[in-house]
Amino acid sequence: MVNMKRLTGKVAIVTGASSGIGHATAKLLAGEGAQVVVGARRKAELDRLVTEIDAAGGKAVALSGDVCDEGYAQALVDLAETTFGGLDIAFNNAGTLGEMGPTTEVSAASFTDTLTTNLIAAFLGAKYQVPAMLKRGAGSLIFTSSIAGHTVGFPGVASYCASKSGLIGLTQSLAAEFGPKNIRVNAILPGAVNTPLYRKMNGTAEAQSFIAGLHALKRVSSPEELAHAVLYLASDDSSFMTGAALVVDGGTSINRA
């Protein structure tokens, strides 16, 4: 029987894996044959995820920590190399919404904290992930950006939008720098996804109905739908794709009705 799994023999890191898009993606990549290192701050949730992946016949290990810590970024790569022999795929997905409200009332410290979690942590991840991929002769690096700060402007979340916009610049720079060495770098740009972060931002049924209406599909995405977009970028299905800001937003960016 032909093995149809797209990531057999590959090793992946997924951050922000304790819930939402990261959790769904870690399970999908493992189901497609990848050996997965999962990271997030919440150890208990990561341990449960590893148990689920193992029970489904996959392979995963967990390391809890703070993505803002450079030592943690290095430790995730070290774990991938010592446990599974290398690194081929990295999904830098961990992020935060940051302080919401009028921009004139947001503190500089809060703004900086959001950029540190969403943008600088992604840079730190790439700083250690790229050298490991170069050892393998190829790799796929993926970031979670957003339509916010790119195709759509949202009031009251300036630090979030700025950080997610910055990720697109980081994606493009890394793609140009490491493309000659067969490292592909792309970003997914979700619309609204039914995650804890989404529910925090839209805490009432009325708010959620309004957000769903902004999409051409008149609904928000599931984490699993975004996971399939990540799988596409992680696999050879997207072998000629790099530097892309892949919009996966249910038509929010083009919807006017």
Task: Give the number of other Cβ atoms within 10 Å of residue 123's Cβ.
Answer: 17
Nearest to residue 92, comparing CAs of 17, 191, 182?
A: 17
Cα-Cα-Cα-Cα dihedral sign, residues 19, 22, 27, 30: negative
Which residue among the candidates 128, 160, 198, 232 is catalytic per the annotation? 160
From its phi and psi, is residue 218 left (phi > 0), alpha (psi between -120 and 50) or beta?
left
Task: Give the number of other Cβ atoms within 10 Å of residue 166's Cβ.
Answer: 18
Is 198 one of the catalytic residues?
no
Q: Are strands 59-64 and 35-40 parallel, antiparallel or unpaired?
A: parallel
Q: Are 188 and 229 in contact (CB under 8 A)?
A: yes
Nearest to residue 216, comparing CAs of 177, 181, 184, 256?
A: 256
The partner residues of 222 in beta bridges, in order of sequence, read none
Say how far apart CA 231 and CA 229 lie, in whole Å: 5
* Secondary structure class of 7 (helix, strand, coil): coil
Q: Residues in the chain, how many?
A: 257
Residues annotated as catalytic are: 160
